[in-house]
Structure 1
Amino acid sequence: MTERYEGSFYGRRKGKPLSPRRTHLMETELPRLSLDLSEPAPQNLADLFDVPVREVWLEVGFGGGEHLLHRARENPDVGLIGVEPFVGSMAKVVNTLNEEGLRNIRLYDDDAINVLDWLPEASIDLAYQLYPDPWPKKRHWKRRFINPQNLDRYARVIKPGCQFRFASDIDTYVDWALQHCRDHSAFEWMAEGPEDWRKPWANWPGTRYEAKAFREERVPRYLTFLRV
């Protein structure tokens, strides 16, 4: 029987105190932008957004928000759901949304499993999990977000024929994610050669975590799985 982990899959939620301006935005703008999980999810997720969207994408753990914001800017007809429990990162994205007026992003600032359980079946056209907390110590591996139960959650909400994309610069987590996804009957690794997992996806903006990996001479890997 597969061991289940009951607890959070992320570490600390707070870092440096927010500026008064960002504190105000978190109090006034985040409630407007946040998903309301106390209400049933709309069967058509496009109804979550203030602008017409043709697809809905999900990013679990958007970190500094570089990728989430880039995809929103280059795809104004796509709705993006971004999940991030770290307060400083969420405040940065809320501030940018307020400054730029982007209307195709909705946010959630707690555990991603709540969103995955709330979303309707086969409602997501593309899902990303980029540079998640690797929990490098072996005794903490059970806290890694990629596990059979959470892959079941992803499989339920991602439309068949669509993709789940994963990136990490930690070799043990890359191997871990690859093994778990390949062992899951709902996912098929799409790589046909080494270059397929060495190169990022089209129009890749990079992230602060990727930049740190390069500075510390670690090599990022980019895994793409088809929801079969």
Structure 2
Amino acid sequence: MEDTAHPLLRSYGRIKSRPIKPRQAALVETLLPQIRAPQAPFDPADLMPGAEEVWLEIGFGGGEHMASQAARAPNVLIIGCEPFLNGVASAVRHVDEQGLKNVRIKDGDARELIGHLPDACLNRVFILFPDPWPKARHHKRRIVQPEVLADLARVMKPGGKLRFATDVAGYADWALERVLASPDFKWAAERADDWRVPPADHITTRYEEKRLGDCEPVFFDFERV
């Protein structure tokens, strides 16, 4: 939980850029309140009774990956977190157009939501192409930090999967070093293709196709010990 005397450093930049399109803005007003994740402690099982699994995507961008995964797995509840308002508006549009009933959205900091979750409730967590905060003085703002990994370990079930992807070489090294230092996760990769080749269930987004980083995308799949 956030210490009000020492508030969390923001792990994201601006929260809005261009004006939100009228149709998306209307959905933010009408649909988002219906699918917004609770703002207080809650049990995901209450959001979708009968869900076979619960997945969390931290920083879903425009929501393409989240919506596509939800469409593939209608019996899985997917909770997505994104502070960027334009991304939230885009995601709500995807939910509406695809008629998805298994998505809940937290429009804000994922760390706040994680603090509201009960122990061992998540089967999967995605952190895909997060803000790399490339300047050394800003590295403390990267979402992959020991304390965040500890929080994720608390809310993930044993055997749960954590996927981290980036196209920034320095962030790949940073994340791998910190996850491997955690006693709560293990990396089962045995050869380069295990992290250089997109996993079979990965969904490529328009953002990923832009290749804005300095290396080819890498995909690290870790398991909750």
- TM bin, normalised by shorter chain, reads over 0.9
- For the 8 Å contact 2:188–2:222, the answer to whether it is kept is yes
Deviation above 2 Å: which 4+ runs of structure 1?
Answer: 215-218
1:142 maps to 2:140 = yes
CA displacement at 1:103 relative to structure 2: 0.1
How far apart in 2 are the matches of 1:96 and 1:207? 13
> Which one of 19, 26, 31 corresponds to residue 28 of structure 2?
26
Aligned pairs (5 A) from 1:114-133: 114-133=112-131
Which sections of structure 1, spanning at least 5 residues, go unmatched?
none
Aligned pairs (5 A) from 1:6-25: 6-25=8-27
> Which one of 218, 221, 226 corresponds to residue 223 of structure 2?
226
Q: Deviations over 1:137-191 (max 9, x none)?
A: 1110000000011011111011111111100000000000000000011011111
Map of 1:84 onto structure 2: 82
CA displacement at 1:218 relative to structure 2: 2.7
How far apart in 2 are the matches of 1:119 and 1:37? 11
CA displacement at 1:6 relative to structure 2: 2.9
CA displacement at 1:32 relative to structure 2: 1.0
How far apart in 1 are the matches of 2:122 and 2:213? 34
> Which one of 92, 95, 98 corresponds to residue 97 of structure 1?
95
CA displacement at 1:217 relative to structure 2: 6.5
Aligned pairs (5 A) from 1:122-201: 122-201=120-199
- For the 8 Å contact 2:63–2:94, the answer to whether it is kept is no
CA displacement at 1:72 relative to structure 2: 0.5
Aligned length: 220
CA displacement at 1:41 relative to structure 2: 0.7
In 2 relative to 1, CA 219–18 (structure 1 residues): closer, same or farther, beyond 3 Å?
same
How far apart in 2 are the matches of 1:92 and 1:184? 34
In 2 relative to 1, CA 171–97 (structure 1 residues): closer, same or farther, beyond 3 Å?
same
